[in-house]
Amino acid sequence: MHKITICGHFGGNEKFLDGQTIKTKNIYLALLEKYGEKEINRIDTYHWKKQPIIFLKRCLKGIKESKNIIILPAQNGVRVFIPLFLLINKF
């Protein structure tokens, strides 16, 4: 079981220099330093609309296998990801 799952915009294989991506990566790297790679699970929200089923499976797995979840959505993501994680958590 992972200690923490972090869900946010990591940018996939592309290089983004916007505030949201940098914030998400910095928090992820700080958690990696403190807890190690085996304790941290990450869910990338980049292009989640292209593969919603795979994204939903990753969210389910993240909630099931983690003690803590950190969600770092942008403005539009607040309307989608927060309700999604709340709904999944009820089950």
pLDDT of residue 38: 92
Spans of all domains in the chain = 2-90
pLDDT of residue 76: 77
Report pTM. Answer: 0.80
Q: Is the pLDDT of residue 1 over 80?
A: no
Which residues lie below 8 Å from residue 86, measured CB to CB, with a gap of 6+?
A: none
Token pair belonging to 47: 């292009």
Share of the chain above pLDDT 90, in %: 34
Average pLDDT in the chain: 87
**Which of 56-60, 73-77, 84-88 has the least mean pLDDT?**
73-77
Token pair belonging to 61: 């797995």
d(CA 84, CA 68): 16
Q: What stretches of 1-91 show up as alpha helix (H) in DSSP?
A: 19-35, 52-65, 75-90
